[in-house]
Amino acid sequence: MSRIYLDHAATTPLLPAAFDAMRPWLSQEYGNPSSLHAEGRRAKDAIDEAREVVSSALGSLFAEVLFTSGGTEAANMAILGVSLNNSDPRRTRVILGAAEHHCVLHTRETLERLGYRVDLAGVDRIGRVDLDSLEDSLGDDVLLVSSMHANNELGTIQPAREVADLAHRWGALYHCDAVQTFLNPVGGSQWKVADLDADVLTISAHKVNGPKGTGAIYIRAGVKLKPLVSGGGQEREMRGGTENTAGIVGFAEAVRLRAKDKISGKAEARDRFLECLDLNGVVLSAPDRRETLAGHLHLRCPGIDAETMLILLDRMGVSASSGAACSSGSIEPSHVLIACGYSPEESKEGLRFTFGWDTRQDEAEEAAGRVNEAKSQILTTRAKQG
């Protein structure tokens, strides 16, 4: 039985070409990019070339992109870096989306220790930020609004441009966590930073078939942040530490290749999966597919917790996820579903199937068949148990 991987929102396989591009920088090309000698200069040139590729994919200036250890560090750098740099005593509040990734939400404690009040912007039933309540919550005491471009659990595309406009109307900065949408066309076309009008935007390599442990932050020219990692002045004095040359080169190679690929394959695999799925006893969390990412499907089987389903699916060779955190081996209620208004029980039922650029139609069909089988096995066992 072949395994079928449908958890691309969690991570994606490294592209062989990205691996090949990284290999020399893990072996014979060992120079430190800060060194003046030939080995060092070659490493620095490789990083600059990678910066060119990533900044061009984002539609930003070369100098507006800095490399980090991933999306988590980049989001921390965005939120805490802006907050540490603030010198305006009137700006005492930060607004975070209630359904953000933990890398955003868990900055709250530090923000509060720094003296900020943190407010959460509510979301609707499909996890989309509620613009009316955001508008009500905004004021000239807000320093920063952090709201993602698409939700990592539900796949819901967010009204990023409207969030930016609202934040800017009050003189606040806007951070956009674009980890799930980087290189994913939204609304049919490939977005650029100017479309979102973000002041700071963060991305990660391992969601686009690059290596883990590498990401980037876009900082709009003129926006000031305090660095979180102090050291040797790397990345324009914004992030100390010897650069991960191999990771950065692999990231750029993945971006170069994925930027050329059509996204439609992901959508076709997701749609085929859905066509083959027995929808009896299934509730789609965001039924209008135009409102979600192309390769994303989130659903619940009411009465069946995600853990039971995922363990059985894993045994049947399908790798999927709930999208929610897992602690001590058991799935916690999803904070995203709770924010959407689901009960704690319902918030343990979320199943996320996410498709990749390379997922084949026959895999999607086979996986749907296995999900149907898993569901009926669970229901039959329950019926027997009375």
List interacting residues with ligand PLP (CB under 6 A).
Answer: 70-72, 75, 101, 103, 148, 152, 177, 179-180, 204, 206, 215
Q: What is the 3-state secondary structure (H, E, C) of 114-149?
A: CCCEEEEECECCCCCECHHHHHHHCCCCEEEEECCC
Q: Which is nearer to ligand PLP, 306 or 378 (CB)?
A: 306
CB of 79 to ligand PLP, least distance (A): 12
Q: Which is nearer to ligand PLP, 107 or 234 (CB)?
A: 107
Choice among 103, 176, 301, 326 that is catalytic = 326
CB of 214 to ligand PLP, least distance (A): 8
CB of 102 to ligand PLP, least distance (A): 8
Active site residue 326: yes
- Tally DSSP H helices, then E strands, for the chain: 14, 14
CB of 206 to ligand PLP, least distance (A): 6
Where does residue 87 rank: exposed (0-12), middle (13-18), buried (19+ CB within 10 A)? exposed
- The answer to whether 179 and 203 have CB atoms below 8 angstroms apart is yes
Distance from the Cα of residue 189 to its chain's centroid: 19
Two structure tokens written together for 82: 């802006």
- The conformation of residue 230, written as its DSSP 8-state character, comes to -
CB of 92 to ligand PLP, least distance (A): 26
| Pairwise CA distance, residues 36 & 33, whole Å | 8
- Active-site annotation, residues: 326
